Amino acid sequence: MNRTILVVDDDQKTRNLLKTYLEKHQYDVRVAHDGASFHAEFERFQAELSLVILDVMLPDTDGFTLCRSVRSQSTVPIIMLTASADDTDRIVGLELGADDYIAKPYNPRELLARIKAIHRRMQLAAPGASIRFLKFAGFSMDLVERVLLDAQGQPVVLTSMDFNLLRFMVEHAGETLDRARLMEQTRGRDLGPLDRSLDVQVSRLRQRLGDDGKQPVLIKTVRGSGYVFSAEVSAHAEA
């Protein structure tokens, strides 16, 4: 899979820091400082790109316009960056076809985690992909047989709902997942104001994984936000 990322940000210091950080993690990074240079770089490297990172505020255009332009000719994943705390930017960006959204200031590690999650989902969804196993912390998820194996190769008892929840978390490792999103994706319904069923399920899942509920390592609680699956995840065709 290509690991070439095109970043557009009008702040030179931010561009350089992000380029250096991502290159340390084995990504090939192209940069642009405005809409015109972005279009030039996109046309030049479009066939190689595996991800585009768009800043919303640019001197000659905005990230929404660039997102719309990219989507009119490519399915390359897009992450949008914005300094606005208003949810409107996030909603507009997603409606235009962005795959993810992160607010400034952000932790580079969180951005890296979201990049990895998008690339992992691309790998799983690729035509002809033979990915069957997701591995983390000694565990192996068999996506075909729908079974979780521990480090000794023994099955871990999980309900179908538990497996669905764990798979969604593993496929989005490193991302902060709010409770409403988890409920919608795994149960297909909205989260009620007094509904604690998801939290009970997460607690049960931690027990199945041997993850200490008081100091969890795999499924961490993000106070006021939701949960994050913090283990490193790899995808494999064979066990």
Q: Are 58 and 34 in contact (CB under 8 A)?
A: yes
Mean pLDDT check: name the lowest of 52-56, 63-67, 131-135: 131-135
In this prediction, residue 192 carries a pLDDT of 59
Mean pLDDT of the chain: 86
In this prediction, residue 109 carries a pLDDT of 87
pLDDT at 157 over 80: yes
The strand order across the sheet containing 49-55 reads 28-32, 4-8, 49-55, 78-82, 100-103
Q: Are 219 and 229 in contact (CB under 8 A)?
A: yes
Q: May I ask the CATH architecture of the domain 133-236?
A: Orthogonal Bundle (1.10)
In this prediction, residue 189 carries a pLDDT of 56
Residue 95: both structure tokens together: 């409606």
- The domain spans of the chain are 4-125, 133-236
Residue 89: both structure tokens together: 């930017």
**Nearest alpha-carbon partner for 103 in 93, 30, 59, 23:** 93
SS (H, E, C) the chain: CCCEEEEECCCHHHHHHHHHHHHHCCCEEEEECCHHHHHHHHHHHCCCEEEEEEECECCCCEHHHHHHHHHCCCCCCEEEEECCCCHHHHHHHHHCCCCEEEECCCCHHHHHHHHHHHHHHHHHHCCCCCCCEEEECCEEEECCCCEEECCCCCEECCCHHHHHHHHHHHHCCCCEEEHHHHHHHHHCCCCCCCCCHHHHHHHHHHHHHCCCCCCCCCEEEECCCEEEECCCCEEECCC
In this prediction, residue 60 carries a pLDDT of 94
pLDDT at 73 over 60: yes
* Domain 4-125 top-level CATH class: alpha beta
Q: 22-43: per-residue pLDDT in tens?
A: 999 999 999 999 999 999 999 9
**Nearest alpha-carbon partner for 151 in 211, 209, 232:** 209
pLDDT at 58 over 90: yes
pLDDT at 18 over 70: yes
pLDDT at 228 over 70: yes
What letter represents residue 140's amino acid?
A: S
In this prediction, residue 104 carries a pLDDT of 84
Task: Name the band, by pLDDT with cuts 50, 70 and 90, for residue 221.
Answer: very high
Q: 90-143: per-residue pLDDT in tens?
A: 777 778 888 888 888 888 888 998 898 888 777 766 655 567 899 999 999 998
Between 194 and 203, residue with greater pLDDT = 203
Distance of alpha carbon 104 from alpha carbon 94, whole angstroms: 17
**Nearest alpha-carbon partner for 136 in 238, 237, 234:** 234
Distance of alpha carbon 163 from alpha carbon 159, whole angstroms: 6
